[in-house]
Amino acid sequence: MGGAGRADQEYVWISNASNLPLFVERVYPGLESAKKALNVQVRVAGPSSVDLAAFIATVDTECTKGAAGDVQGVIVVGGWDDALASEVDKCIDKKVPTVVTDGDLPMSKRLTYLGTDWYKFGRLHGQYQCQYHKEKGLTAGKIGTISFLAAGNFISARQGLRDELAATCPEVQVVADEESGTNVEQVAANTAAILQAHPDLTGMVGMDSEAGPGIVRAIDEAGKAGKIIVTSNEAGREFMNAIKDGKALMINMEKYETMDFFAVLYLYTFQNDIIRNLYMDQWLQNPLPAIGDSGLIVVTKDNVDVILEATKPVE
């Protein structure tokens, strides 16, 4: 592991919005840690905006390089669109090791999925929404959600939320699901529309990194700060202050460093034939685990100060 003879190997992480602040803050350090630990090259690729066509083209380009021996493996961030499954299949058909992170493509030929279990993510938010409704003395409630509506991982998350509400506090129900588009302005506008359509709304769940800030902005503008129970996915370190300000009650953090470090490690293990099942060729019998749940970190008023202190940027 980490032998000098492999120092020229290059692994590529590919995503839409590849320089999203949250990715820079959380994903890049995980990739950098893998680079140092394994003594290899790790590169970031993909459009800086949400551009599915450009994303697909980038995957195709990098896998073509892989087929020529110039790239040893690719990481595809799968949560953007299920159409990426066919691109992953093309990579595997070219015998370019390919893993998926942060939103599975289960129908693809990917070697493994490493990332958040989005159904569990939804149930987690359901648990906290039920808890906070109860603490506020609400025996019934109406919740809105913001996410990528068409993406498979967010479909799973919304189902997990509904299942948890039905099991734990059935009088609290989801009344609206709106689009995020990874755009704070779009989230704010769609949240405002939910608030207008449901003036008795009691909760909002933000499921991607731009959802939380947009939800909080819209609620502030509507003069309902602190009156709507907000639980959200993370949006960078500064957004944690929404908990201190009472504008959000729970924020989950995905373990980006974990999923991306191990994604590179898995590709390295596969590419360099480090371990085999039954001594069979790795392309005949994939030695990697099929799925890895990287888990979630839950931030509430009880631990937000600890999290903020622990995540201070290094000078």
Kindly list the domain boundaries of the chain, sorted by start residue. 4-116+255-295, 118-253
Q: What is the DSSP letter of 207?
A: -
Specify whether the CB–CB gap between 133 and 309 falls below 8 A: no
Q: What is the CA radius of gyration of the chain?
A: 20
The pTM is what?
A: 0.94
Q: Which residue has the higher pLDDT, 27 or 312?
A: 27
**Going by C-beta distance under 8 Å and a sequence separation of 6 or more, which residues neighbour residue 313?**
none
**Nearest residue to 157 (alpha-carbon basis) of 196, 194, 104:** 104
**Nearest residue to 183 (alpha-carbon basis) of 155, 156, 218, 157:** 218
**Going by C-beta distance under 8 Å and a sequence separation of 6 or more, which residues neighbour residue 76?**
14, 15, 59, 84, 87, 88, 91, 98, 99, 100, 101, 105, 110
pLDDT band at 181 (very low <50, low <70, confident <90, very high): confident
- Indicate whether 80 pLDDT > 90: no
Neighbour-count burial of 55, counting CB atoms closer than 10 A to its CB (0-12 exposed, 13-18 middle, 19+ buried): buried
* CB half-sphere exposure, 61, CA atoms < 13 A: 12
Average pLDDT of the segment spanning 297-305? 97
- Indicate whether 203 pLDDT > 90: yes
Q: Which CATH superfamily is domain 118-253 in?
A: Response regulator (3.40.50.2300)
Average pLDDT of the segment spanning 66-79? 96
**Nearest residue to 262 (alpha-carbon basis) of 75, 59, 103:** 75
| Beta strands at 203-206 and 141-147: parallel, antiparallel or unpaired | parallel
**Nearest residue to 29 (alpha-carbon basis) of 286, 314, 308:** 314
pLDDT band at 290 (very low <50, low <70, confident <90, very high): very high
Among all chains, which residue has been given the structure tokens 């202050």? Answer: 241
Same fold, 4-116+255-295 and 118-253: yes
Task: Provide the angle, in degrees to the nearest 10, between the axes of the packed helices 28-38 and 256-271.
Answer: 40
Tell me the C-alpha distance between 182 and 149, whole Å: 11
Average pLDDT of the segment spanning 255-284? 96
**pLDDT attached to residue 79:** 87
**pLDDT attached to residue 260:** 98
pLDDT band at 315 (very low <50, low <70, confident <90, very high): low
Q: Which CATH superfamily is domain 4-116+255-295 in?
A: Response regulator (3.40.50.2300)
